[in-house]
């Protein structure tokens, strides 16, 4: 029984990370119907950005809430700027090009970032600064619940709630939904689509930045290719939940985390990745709109 | 705009790569190739080995070289990938016309190169690939280290006799020849001695989350865990084991040997044990002399892989000096005849299977240094 509770906790904490990155995929897809494959590499750049900030400030061995805040802030800033740059230089010129061209560009940008990072930061793994003291907060049965796991889960849920608020309760959110519905008509109504899309990219990328710090504190080994697998898994999570749907992304992420954990716990780690992509195939065959998506989803 | 600029960059770098690739042949030098993981997940392996080899080359050159010729070392990076290792080794043989090859640390990379070296009759010595299959690839492939069955045996003996453990769990990397080989022998020997394997689970190298496996292991109630993997994962495993409250010794092989192990694992890795080629606390005069010159040259203490790289290079150079000429077959025969060579990592005698027969040490992690615990003989 203790084991099972422990597995649930492990799954929840892994799933939260998938969820957070899946939110970024979903945001961009909701507005542009573009799968931004460079998202996972923006996430990697966020990890390196905050790593170098911590090194520069000399706070890499001073865990605490202020360190967490500084690292989160710097990762979000780095990611937002990179997201903005990518949108301006790579996607905007192709705004009216066929979808396939933009998809291929996204893959190109992703590879560019990976190899750029290897050239600049070196390909050997770096150790992410210690962000928080990992202490036992409370016990469920005989299972210890640790600070890191709670922090990761809390940040994910807070992020989802804030995003939901921004999209459904603010003027910018209204503009985003308008652009998602119909870019041309929104423009006629006085919305500047380019500005809205830029902001969407910045917000989505900043989420990747948050994810990178959380992953860095949980699995403190960062390298230029760290985004590939986690990015693919988060993408599957977004599709599973219904891409374009925010709660769906979180649900999908949590489900992915759980199922991976259970497969490894009760079957074999060999099937971990096979399971993730198996889910993708099954969803695409039987419920292409995802668990929480309707076939005519209202996007973002 | 950006696409055109980056295209220009690609073309420029490709041209540069070609330009540096064209080397002039010099009659008065011997070219030796080293293929290693200078970047990638196990980058410290390649860097440490290369420093050991470099020191050996410099010492030999300073002492007059081999047969009056100077040695020129060409090191090529395989990024820690087997397919890349095959590519750079082919280039070393075909374009650079190397006389002999040194490398790799990881068995999977050596296995990718061995058939190529064998086919071209270029002698190859791996300093620290411990998988038995490496030297089985052909009679031009040698190693100056012990093999996995021995490391598995050493750790099984150590766990049973020194740590007095009776129930042990195994956590192995399913996609690593090295990890699977060590685990297999460990399990066989440990149960043979009377111990019990209470859990045998696996992970994939490059994984970052091991909590599921560790939770499973914890509930099996072992007294120790044998994890023969590489340092990148071991650091994370030690951390997550501590998070789950597993306070039992972790044990591994020479794949743990890297300063990064402590950086990633922090204090959670302290006090754990692994088998290695050599310890910095050795009092053997050959080892002490090596440590001193290494410190002087690189301004830091050598690790086991530097020592292994140094030995492999020195054994090769000694054989080349002894060989009647510098052709592949002549050098091959000379390496095969190596007997009682006083290496830093122990006395090296190449046996019928082209493996070195020598002892292993068990060390305990203490920060970035490793404390010598015991030596276990074959």
Assess contact for A133 and A63: CB atoms under 8 A.
yes
The lowest-confidence range among A12-16, A91-95, A292-296, B328-332 is: A292-296
Mean pLDDT, residues A215-226: 87
SS3 of residue B36 by DSSP = strand
Assess contact for A269 and B203: CB atoms under 8 A.
yes
Report the complex ipTM: 0.77
Residue at token pair 């000096």: B321
Spacing of C-alpha B301 from chain mean position: 17
Please tell me the predicted confidence (pLDDT) of residue B265: 86
Strand ranges in chain B using DSSP code E only, listed in sequence order = 29-36, 70-77, 100-102, 124-126, 141-143, 167-173, 196-203, 224-226, 250-252, 273-276, 341-343, 346-348, 360-366, 369-376
In chain A, which residues have their Cβ closer than 8 Å to the Cβ of B218? 3
Please tell me the predicted confidence (pLDDT) of residue A122: 79
Please tell me the predicted confidence (pLDDT) of residue B36: 93
- Top-ranked range on mean pLDDT: pick from A15-29, A127-141, B8-22: A15-29
Please tell me the predicted confidence (pLDDT) of residue B6: 53
Chain-chain contact of A268 with B202 (C-beta, under 8 angstroms): yes
SS3 of residue A44 by DSSP = helix
The whole-angstrom separation of Cα A135 and Cα B265 is: 16
CA distance to partner chain A, nearest, from residue B229 (Å)? 15
Provide the β-strand partners of residue B71: B30
Whole-structure pTM value: 0.78
Residues on chain B bordering chain A, Cβ-to-Cβ distance under 8 angstroms: 1-2, 6, 39-41, 43-44, 79-80, 174, 201-204, 206-209, 211-213, 215-216, 218-219, 232, 235-236, 239, 243-245, 260, 263-264, 266
Please tell me the predicted confidence (pLDDT) of residue B44: 86
N-terminal to C-terminal alpha carbon distance within chain A: 40
Structure tokens belonging to residue A127: 């150790």
CB pairs A-B closer than 8 Å: 89
In chain A, which residues have their Cβ closer than 8 Å to the Cβ of B2? 89-90
Cα dihedral A182, A187, A190, A193 sign: positive
Residues on chain A bordering chain B, Cβ-to-Cβ distance under 8 angstroms: 2-3, 6-7, 10, 14, 89-90, 112, 118, 122-125, 127, 130, 134, 144, 146, 148, 215, 219-221, 223, 229, 260-262, 264-265, 268-270, 272-273
Task: Give the one of A89, A123, A219 whose C-beta lies nearest to B209's C-beta.
Answer: A219
Inform me whether the pLDDT recorded for A180 exceeds 60. Answer: yes
The whole-angstrom separation of Cα B223 and Cα B162 is: 13
Please tell me the predicted confidence (pLDDT) of residue B21: 46
Give the best residue of B36, B215, B217, B265 to mutate against chain A (max A CB count within 10 A). B215
Average pLDDT of chain A is 86
Please tell me the predicted confidence (pLDDT) of residue B71: 94
Provide the β-strand partners of residue B342: B347
Task: With CA atoms as reference, report the closest residue to B65 among B109, B30, B115.
Answer: B30
Chain-chain contact of B206 with A229 (C-beta, under 8 angstroms): yes
- Give A95-119 pLDDT, tens digit per residue: 888 888 888 999 999 999 998 998 8
CA distance to partner chain B, nearest, from residue A10 (Å)? 7
Give the best residue of B210, B211, B238, B268 to mutate against chain A (max A CB count within 10 A). B211
> Chunked in runs of 10, what are the mean pLDDT values of chain B (378 residues)?
50 49 65 91 88 95 91 92 92 93 91 93 92 90 89 92 93 88 92 93 86 89 93 91 90 88 88 88 86 92 91 94 91 92 90 88 87 82
């Amino acid at each position: 029984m203790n084991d099972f509770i422990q597995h649930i906790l492990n799954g929840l904490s892994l799933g939260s990370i998938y969820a957070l990155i899946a939110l970024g995929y979903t945001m961009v897809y909701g507005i542009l119907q573009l799968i931004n494959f460079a998202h996972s590499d923006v996430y990697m750049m966020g990890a390196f950005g905050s790593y170098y900030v911590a090194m520069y400030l000399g706070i890499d061995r001073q865990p605490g809430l202020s360190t967490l805040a500084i690292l989160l802030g710097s990762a979000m800033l780095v990611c937002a700027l990179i997201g903005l740059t990518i949108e301006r230089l790579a996607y905007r010129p192709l705004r009216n090009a066929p979808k396939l061209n933009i998809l291929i560009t996204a893959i190109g940008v992703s590879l560019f970032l990976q190899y750029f990072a290897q050239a600049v930061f070196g390909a050997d793994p770096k150790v992410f600064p210690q962000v928080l003291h990992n202490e036992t907060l409370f016990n469920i049965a005989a299972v210890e619940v640790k600070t890191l796991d709670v922090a990761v889960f809390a940040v994910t849920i807070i992020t989802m709630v804030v995003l939901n608020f921004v999209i459904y309760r603010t003027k910018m959110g209204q503009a985003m939904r308008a652009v998602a519905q119909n870019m041309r008509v929104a423009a006629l109504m006085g919305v500047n689509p380019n500005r809205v899309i830029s902001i969407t990219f910045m917000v989505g990328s900043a989420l990747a930045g948050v994810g990178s710090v959380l992953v860095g504190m949980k699995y403190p080994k960062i390298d230029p290719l760290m985004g590939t697998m986690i990015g693919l898994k988060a993408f599957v999570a977004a599709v599973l939940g219904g891409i374009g749907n925010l709660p769906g992304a979180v649900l999908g992420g949590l489900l992915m985390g759980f199922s991976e954990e259970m497969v490894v716990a009760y079957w074999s780690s060999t099937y971990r990745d096979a399971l993730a992509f198996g889910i993708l195939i099954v969803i695409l065959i039987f419920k292409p709109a995802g668990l929480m998506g309707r076939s005519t989803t209202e996007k973002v | 705009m950006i696409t055109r600029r980056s295209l220009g960059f690609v073309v420029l770098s490709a041209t540069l790569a070609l330009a540096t690739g064209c080397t002039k042949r010099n009659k008065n030098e011997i070219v030796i190739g080293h293929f290693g993981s200078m970047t990638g997940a196990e980058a410290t392996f390649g860097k440490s080995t290369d420093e050991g080899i470099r020191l050996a080359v410099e010492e030999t050159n300073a002492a007059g070289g081999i047969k009056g010729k100077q040695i020129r070392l060409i090191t090529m990076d395989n990024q820690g990938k087997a397919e890349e290792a095959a590519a750079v080794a082919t280039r070393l043989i075909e374009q650079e016309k190397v006389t002999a090859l040194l490398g790799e640390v990881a068995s999977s990379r050596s296995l990718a190169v061995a058939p190529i070296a064998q086919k071209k009759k270029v002698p190859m010595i791996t300093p620290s690939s411990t998988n038995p299959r490496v030297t089985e690839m052909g009679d031009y492939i040698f190693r100056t280290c012990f093999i996995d069955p021995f490391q598995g045996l050493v750790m099984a003996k150590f766990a049973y006799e020194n740590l007095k453990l009776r129930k042990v769990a195994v956590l192995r990397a399913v996609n690593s020849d090295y990890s699977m080989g060590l685990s297999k022998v460990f399990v066989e020997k440990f149960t043979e001695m009377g111990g019990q394997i209470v859990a045998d689970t696996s992970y994939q190298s490059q994984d970052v989350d091991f909590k599921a496996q560790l939770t499973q292991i914890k509930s099996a109630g072992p007294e120790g865990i044998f994890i023969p993997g590489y340092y990148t994962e071991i650091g994370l495993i030690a951390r997550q084991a501590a998070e789950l409250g597993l306070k039992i010794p972790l044990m591994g092989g020479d794949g743990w040997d890297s300063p990064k192990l402590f950086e990633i694992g922090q204090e959670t890795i302290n006090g754990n044990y692994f088998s290695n080629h050599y310890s910095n606390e050795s009092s053997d005069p050959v080892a002490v002399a090596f440590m001193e010159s290494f410190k002087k040259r690189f301004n830091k203490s050598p690790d086991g892989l530097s020592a292994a790289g140094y030995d492999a290079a020195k054994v090769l150079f000694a054989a080349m000096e002894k060989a009647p000429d510098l052709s592949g077959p002549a050098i091959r025969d000379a390496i095969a005849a190596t007997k009682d060579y006083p290496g830093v990592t122990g006395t090296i005698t190449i046996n019928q299977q082209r493996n070195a027969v020598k002892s292993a040490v068990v060390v305990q992690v203490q920060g970035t240094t490793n404390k010598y615990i015991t030596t276990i003989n074959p």
